[in-house]
Every structure is written in structure tokens, then in C-alpha cells.
Amino acid sequence: MEQFYTEDSIKTLDWREHIRKRPGMYIGKLGDGSSPDDGIYVLIKEVMDNSIDEFMMGYGKEIILQISEKEVRVRDFGRGIPLGKLLDVASKMNTGAKYDSKTFQKSVGLNGVGIKAVNALSTHFTITSFRDSRFKRISFSEGNLITEEPEQPTSERNGTEVIFHPDEKMFGHFHFIPEYIEAMVRNYTYLNSGLTIRFNEQVFISKNGLLDLLTDNLAEPPLYPIIHLKGEDIELAITHNTEYGEDYYSFVNGQHTTQGGTHLQAFKEAYVKTIREFYKKDFEASDIRGSIVAAISVRIQEPVFESQTKTKLGSKDMWDGGPSVSKYVTDFLKTHLDNYLHKHPETADILLKKILENEKERKAISGVQKLARERARKASLHNKKLRDCRIHLTDNDERRLDTTLFITEGDSASGSITKSRDVNTQAVFSLKGKPLNTYGLTKKIVYENEEFNLLQAALNIEEGIENLRYNNIVIATDADVDGMHIRLLMITFFLQFFPELVKKGHLYILQTPLFRVRNKSKTIYCYDEKEKETALKELGKNAEITRFKGLGEISPDEFKHFIGKDIRLEPVRLRKEDIIHELLEFYMGKNTTERQDFIIENLKIEEDIIEEDVIEEI
């Protein structure tokens, strides 16, 4: 059919329509709350950022964040938005005070866009400004004005209140995970000493900035006391632990840049350079940074981020006419870290010992590593284990946060997912049988074991997770004993050698339905017994019930429902108190009666398929 390109083909969307049609441009991805970078958390952040900017400018030392069911309330005690401009600030694009650098210097918000995105993507959005003994309140729905109350007198303290309910037509049956919000709140307090945030019934405040951040995120004592360095526009906290990999927390103007950027890259390079010069030895960068845990925060005028969600810094300079980010960070580290190590020789000795240990292990596996890299390169040319997608996390594409690698077991399961996936953003890696239990093994096994080596290459994480190719790593196994065992083995692999993938919220378990309930007019997929009973009440007791025993039994046409926009993912999360080696020892170490009892009580499978010989195998 011929497509006509005429004047009628040209569309002009108003701001509400554009945000709702292209939400990825404003909040990254939608999501249902399973991932810390899902859009519902970005909505909270956009409102909180405005309140943080007020605090940074010296107004309002307290912020209240309340979340009840699916409604969010943020109240700050800053200056309050000028009442006559409240409607414009909430509903006119490119309107805000952030364009006036004298009013907001080194702020988080830049373009006056965030609050409009929250407005357009909420079924209910109410903004109230309290200013100079008067207040004004305006309400919207999906960005459309509902009520605009006239100015009235008030005894309330100055500030702004925003109440919103994310639109379930956009976000589906979303849910907030309190741990994700708590992590966001803690980061705000670490970066703004003296700020108090009340999140529901909890009170958060930090006196020591990034020192508190590392202390709170380390489950075990570090190898040496945390090095804490502060300058006018930079703050650093550095230590090492015993885990594999490199763990970084980076921030710009109070914004958590989860994808790093020029400031983090500058830190990594400057740290290596400073350490080499201090010890007067040309160590490998990987040996110097292996097992590092570090946080960096910089303040920049007019920062340039790579997207509205501000997860990666693109700025080259600290401020107009000032030094480059690289030079500023390098000069600071060269002076202050060098001085610190000279003044604390005991720390310098421990650090040197750790570098030498990393060097020794690297050299021990270098031969295997070289062969493994070559094997991975050859396999990538005709790799039947990986069915890749077109877009990756490292691409400059608004869909990059949706990029997913499914790790599956068996040909039938991988075949079903492969046929039903979105080839743009979803890739599949097929396991052959049960993977090796890696608990207690060294990283040499990652290169010696062909499956692990190819998986590492597919993820592109050999040199760290900065160039990770997929945002979501999803373990997709059957809901039986073997499937549960494979899940444990894969989680063990990631915790043992790439713990930062778990800590940064990239690892998930795919939830697939256990039952299909249908009659002649409707089909309902159920993920547990409770959902099955609810479906039977709706469709009638005579409805047909199918029990799925494996992923391979689900046809590709049906699988599209389970890995599309309604995908259910269970995040693999570590709590602050979780110590990785103790977790692995309990689940994957020497078999004990206590562990067997725990597994039997907690496996979400039918009792009749739990057999003693299978439990003994686990």
C-alpha cells in the first residue's frame, strides 16, 4: 500500500502528549518498580532534586518524603516557588529558575523539565507553594489542569509540596521497593551534610559525607581505614576490600551518576597515576584498582549529562573558563592522596601488599586468560550460545535501559525465548546443563571454564562493569528443583566474581506462570496458587487448568506475554548486613542438615517433586 507523505503527516505534539508518547526521553524506562532505575523512582528523584537544590542554596534543612500505597508526597521548607509562576513551573516546558545561574549555582536540575514529566505521567498531581504567609495550590491529571485555587493566607512555613500518583496506564501494576528509595535518600544525605530527610517513619542524616557512604555500604571491615579527602568542589572516599572487581559510587552536583562519566573516568586514571608515582613502580592499572571501593562527588557549573535522567556525565570542564574535569581531579589526587599516604605509612603498606597480591594472582592466570580471550573471540563469530540483540547498554539509545540478557537452561527454553523476544533489546545466552559450583574457587576458573568465559565475554565485564552490554541480566530457569539449583549456581558465580553486578541492581530472576486458566472467552496466566484460585472464581470452576512444568512447555506465542511489557522480574538484592562469603558458605558450602532444612522449607515448588536424592545433590 502506498504511503502518502503530505502536510497532514506532520504532527505537533503539546508537552503532555510528547512526554506520554516518548517517556524514555524524560525518565529512561517505565518499568514496574522491580529495577532501581525504573521510571517510578525517577519521578520521585525529579521532585526531590528540586528540594535538594533549595537546600544547596542555603534554604530549608529538612525534606519530608512520604509514600503510602502508590501516592508520593514531597514537602520541603525552601523558599517556595513564586506564587504567580507556579502554573508555568508545573506545566510549561523550558520554564524554571535553573536558567538563572545566580539563583541556582551547581544545581541538579538544569532544564525545568523534570517536574513537568512527573505531572504528565501522573493520574493525580498537586503542587502547592507556601511563600511569605500566602499559598497557592494547583492540581492536574495526566498534565491537564483540573483546579487552580486562588492565593490564600497561611501560617505554614515557606516551601513547596508535591503530591502525585504515577499513572498505571503508563507504569502498569507497579510497586515501590522501599530499599531502592532508602538508598536514594541515603545518597542525598551523604552528599548534603546537615540535611535531614524524613522518609515515612525513618530519619536520615549524615555528618561525614562519603565516609558514611562507604562505611554503610561495606558489610565487612575494609583492609585499611577509609581515606576521606575533601576540597572545594570535590570529595573522595577510598578503600579496598577482599572482593573481586571494582566498586564505585559517583556523583555530580548531588546526582547519582550510575553510568559514571568523565569525572569517574578521570578519577580512575588519576588514582592509578598517583599510586604509580607514590610507589615509584609502573604497576598494572588492574592490580592497583582490583578490589577498590571508592566514592567521588564533584560540583560543576552547567553540567552536561548524556540524557535527562542524568546517569552519565559528559562535561569536559568544571566551569566556564576553569580547568578540565580530568585536570581538576588529577591535581587534587596528586596532592592530597600523595600527602595522605606519606602521613599514614601503615595504610600505604597495606595498600602495597594488596596490589602485589593482585599482581601475583593476575600473573598466575595470565596464560589461561590469553587463551580464553582468543577462544571467546573465535566463538563470537559463530557463537550458538549467544543470540544477541541490536541495542546495548553502551549505545546512545533511549531503549538502552531495557537491554536484557536472558540466561536459560536447555535448548527448548532458550528456543522459546529466542522466538518470542524483542530482537532490538533482548538477548539469550543458553547454558548446557548445570554450571559449575564456583564457591571457593579463584577467578582462574572463569577463564578455564568455557561456559563462564563465553558468558563473561558476552557481558563484556572482564575489565569491570563500566562497559556492561546489558542493563538487566535475567536468570530464566524452570520452577523445579533443577531450575532452583541452577539459579543458585549462577547467583554464586556472580557474587563470587562480579559482586558489583548484584550490588548495582543488574541481576534478576524471571518469574513465569505456573498455571494457565482459560475458558472459551478468556485466558488468565497465574504465577501462584492464590492467583489460580482468583482466576477460577472469575472464569468458573469448569475452566481448563494447565500446569506448566518447564519453560520449554510454553509456546513462543505465549512467551511474548511473559517477557514483554508485563514481564515480572524478581531482583536479586543484597542487604547492607549481608556478607557475601558467609552467604555463599551457607548456601553453597559444605552440606549441613541446617542448610537442607532451609532449602526444603523455602523452595517455591510442589512438595511431591522434592526427593531426598535431589536435596542431597543440592
Is pLDDT larger for residue 245 or for residue 346?
346
pLDDT at 382: 52
pLDDT of amino acid 44: 95
CA distances from 475 to 224, 287, 379, 407, 489 (A): 36, 31, 22, 5, 11
Q: What are phi and psi of 235, to 5 degrees?
A: -140, 140
Widest CA span in the chain: 79
Confidence of residue 609 (pLDDT cuts 50, 70, 90): very low
* pLDDT confidence of residue 100: 45
Per-residue cell: 287: 592490580
Q: Helix (H) and strand (E) counts for the chain?
A: 22, 23
pLDDT exceeds cutoff 60 at 1: no
pLDDT, position 576: 67
- 610 vs 273, higher pLDDT: 273
**Percent of the chain having pLDDT more than 70?**
85
As a whole number of angstroms, the distance between CA 294 and CA 263 comes to 13
| Alpha-carbon dihedral sign for residues 336, 338, 339, 345 | positive
pLDDT of residue 614: 38
Top-confidence range, 153-157, 475-479, 538-542, 599-603: 153-157
Higher pLDDT, 3 or 89: 89
Stretch 448-461: mean pLDDT, rounded? Answer: 90
Using only the alpha carbons of the chain, give its radius of gyration.
26
Q: Residue 215: which pLDDT band, with cuts at 50, 70 and 90? A: very high
Q: Work out the pLDDT band at 316, boundaries 50, 70, 90.
A: confident
3 state DSSP class of 590: coil
Q: Decide if pLDDT at 107 tops 60.
A: no
Query: End-to-end distance of the chain based on CA atoms, in angstroms?
Result: 59
Question: How large is the average pLDDT for residues 350-367?
Answer: 90
* pLDDT score at 394: 85
Element (H, E) at 147: strand 144-148
Q: Of 38-42, 362-366, 580-584, where does mean pLDDT reach its minimum?
A: 580-584
Confidence label for 7 from pLDDT (cuts 50, 70 and 90): low
Span 450-470, average pLDDT: 89
Contact in structure between 120 and 143 (CB atoms under 8 Å): yes
Q: Round to whole Å and give the CA distance between 559 and 552.
A: 10
Rounded mean pLDDT, 458-462: 90
Out of 98-112, 118-132, 370-384, which region has the weakest mean confidence (pLDDT)? 98-112
Residue 94, pLDDT > 70, answer: no
Residue 591: count other Cβ atoms within 10 Å of its Cβ. Answer: 12
- Return the number of other C-beta atoms located less than 10 Å from residue 30's C-beta: 21
Percent above pLDDT 90 for the chain:
47
Position with higher pLDDT, 26 vs 378: 26
**Please, what's the b/e burial string for 91-112 (b: 16 or more CB within 10 A of its CB; e: otherwise)?**
bebebbbbeeeeebebbbbbeb
Does residue 599 have a pLDDT over 70?
no
Considering only CA atoms, which of 433, 484, 476 is closest in space to residue 606?
484
Q: Is the pLDDT of residue 608 over 50?
A: no
In terms of C-beta density within 10 A (0-12 exposed, 13-18 middle, 19 or more buried), how is residue 153 classed? Answer: exposed
How distant is the alpha carbon of residue 486 from its chain centre?
24
DSSP three-state, residue 96: coil
Q: Which of 213, 121, 208, 202 is nearest to 168 (CA)?
A: 121
The DSSP H or E segment spanning 123 is: strand 122-131
Instruction: Indicate the range of 86-100, 252-266, 277-291, 533-547 predicted with least confidence.
Output: 86-100
Average pLDDT of span 521-547: 90
In angstroms, the CA 358 to CA 348 distance is 15
d(CA 618, CA 489): 10
3-class DSSP state of 314? coil
Predicted confidence at residue 426, as pLDDT, reads: 94
Beta bridge partners of 546: 516
* Number of Cα atoms under 13 Å in the Cβ half of residue 292: 25
Apex 378 CA angle, 377 and 379, nearest 5: 90
Rounded to an integer, the average pLDDT of 296-324 is: 74
Instruction: Tell me what the mean pLDDT of segment 92-99 comes to.
Output: 54
Q: What is the rounded distance in angstroms from the CA atom of residue 430 to the CA atom of residue 409?
A: 6
Tell me, letter by letter, the H, E, C secondary structure of 191-254.
CCCCCEEEECCEEECCCCCHHHHHHHHCCCCCCCCCEEEECCCEEEEEEECCCCCCEEEEEECC
Model confidence at 598: pLDDT above 80: no
What's the rounded mean pLDDT across residues 414-443?
88
Please compute the mean of the pLDDT values over residues 410-420 and round it to a whole number: 80
Min mean pLDDT across 143-157, 170-184, 582-596 is at 582-596
Q: Which of 52-61, 265-274, 311-320, 383-392 comes out lowest in average pLDDT? A: 311-320
The per-residue pLDDT for 98 is 46
What is the CA angle 251-252-258, rounded to 5?
45
User: So what's the pLDDT on residue 30?
Assistant: 86
On the question of pLDDT at 613 being above 50, the answer is: no
Confidence band for 307, pLDDT divided at 50, 70 and 90: low
143 has pLDDT over 80: yes
pLDDT of 117 > 60? The answer is: yes
More confident of the two residues 107 and 449 = 449
Between 23 and 591, the higher pLDDT residue: 23
CA distances (Å), 223 to each of 220, 276, 341, 346, in order? 9, 20, 15, 11
**Measured distance CA(161)–CA(115) in Å, rounded:** 12
- Strand ranges in 312-425 using DSSP code E only, listed in sequence order: 386-387, 404-409
429 compared with 316, residue with greater pLDDT: 429
- Determine the pLDDT at residue 339: 96
Cα dist from 1 to 4, 343, whole Å = 10, 77
Banded pLDDT at 108 (limits 50, 70, 90): low
Q: 462: Cβ–Cβ under 8 A, 6 or more apart, which residues?
A: 373, 456
pLDDT at 484 over 90: no
